[in-house]
Structure 1
């Protein structure tokens, strides 16, 4: 949820509105570029309950603008289809009754063309609203548009996650884009450790710029002296864990994790396949030989935690990760780099590498509210706060995250068994 409550209330200038309209068009176009390589059948598949069909993503992010901007603020606005308010509401119970998430793949109608028509309807209306917003609501409109754009950027990453999972179910190993080329192989040095002094530190978002409500308020937190690895764990290193019986040694696993891998039969990260004497992985560029030096990806919190224990280390705490990242340049392998796959770090490097981009990094902390956290009133308050149970925090963004969407204070969250997101790990240990 965005930092809507703390933004100034002055009326926006015409230049600000014009910039926001241009940004709106750019973000909206990116979602459609992501979907352009899909065949029509790809748009409608729901490969598991946590995956949404690409068609649904395109409609839902449009619904968001309709529900929270066009209906309350554009005089005379008429929905293209009133039923879409039910079909494409994700989880806003205070707004209405959402269509069940696990059944989104059953919505064959409206068709893909109808969904794109819905997007065009929304875009025309949003253009009208931003060209001439009602002045008494102009500031709030700008804040909600920014939230809607950040929301759509989240779904751009989700689109790529879900498309990858959908295509990976097909034994023909279909390619999402055949112009995605493997990066040149780089050799990783052994992990180096960076020392950080403990003490009372401040974490959380402060100052200007957008942030979700779960990143606030900024607050004090005591940390002990610690060390952080200079890069994420690589595929080569994770293979050593597998070769040493990592998935068969109960002493390495949390109880829930051990029960989960037994039930699911996990023996390697998601999308890895053993072919003859070598490992391959399914990527958005098709089935490829495993890049041994790239960060390991598509591991659950349970797997990350077990690996860290095997390596004689642990996962970083959320505050530790943020302390290490706050002074580092926000450079990395993001959506705009167009690899759509984690790549090995360039060596040598000063300070921890790849804190931003490539893979989301699991932390040791549960997703809970910061001291003094308050969600906004109304339906928009459901954006983050209601999920602060049973989830673990990830940090740093990934190869499918838009670069402008990430920052050192950003808190992503997933349930500990989930691994279809671009998630990896970095080691930490006590000093």
Structure 2
């Protein structure tokens, strides 16, 4: 029987992932001074052990002021390379392609860690040591009432930021990641340039769509110039703002065409986030609610796309790929619920095809599969062929 599409390899430049499952960036707000630690190693390492083809770090700030919170990862100095390199090596050794997302929070920087409120820093946060810093944006427009007023970036500021992105990319190379993603979504700095609601500049970096795209495209060019030519570059976008007067899908199609021309290989199609939390529900949410964005962008630009957003069930993911709606499936919070989601999905799809039998756990880490294979015959005697763990 043919292999499920979800578990066919995909090659991007000279990098091959063993399947189409990508673990999305998910901020842990647990770093100290931007440094990855054992929490990040175990958090990300679980997903490699769980069978994902590509595992991506959370948003990793290109400078200290580009963090969302005091707990964010960073790559603004060389001392931050080694712990990330350790993580990349572990992911690769356990069968996953190591990926890193680089980001700048823009006007959504200097925020509370979400479990303290996910809003502007308060005196209670200051007492914990989380004091505010100066934030920046395309225009001096705060994200909302009560939030910090950002400094409007000058052209010298923009030049300095380009250098921060360049140096962070070189550090990502040194840390030995195979995929790099540029964060242009969820209301962070590069998305702020793209949206007319947050970019009201009067110079060459504002105005019409071409002006608003100019700086994000310069960042893509800057990163691509130093990111190795044999490694793929992803770009995460908010396909629509979901707010009157904001980005619509035609804007994103135009941006993707230009990003492709500058060396972007995969477009990671999210949405929303310009105002409020990156996960705030501005767009009606149902299973796979953002898949139509990935499908339309893929169709109209011929880009390789990645779909994300409430893709929870193995057959759902398989059908999305089989219907040529996207090329990669991103799994986020469902992987927090079940770090072995890829392995469970493979079992579920194989069971649907009647392929469960000898070698059921061949894809699992040998340290686990050895035990589970020997448990299986006894469970079959007790429960028959349909075992609860396959009902993913």
Shorter-chain TM-score: what band? under 0.3
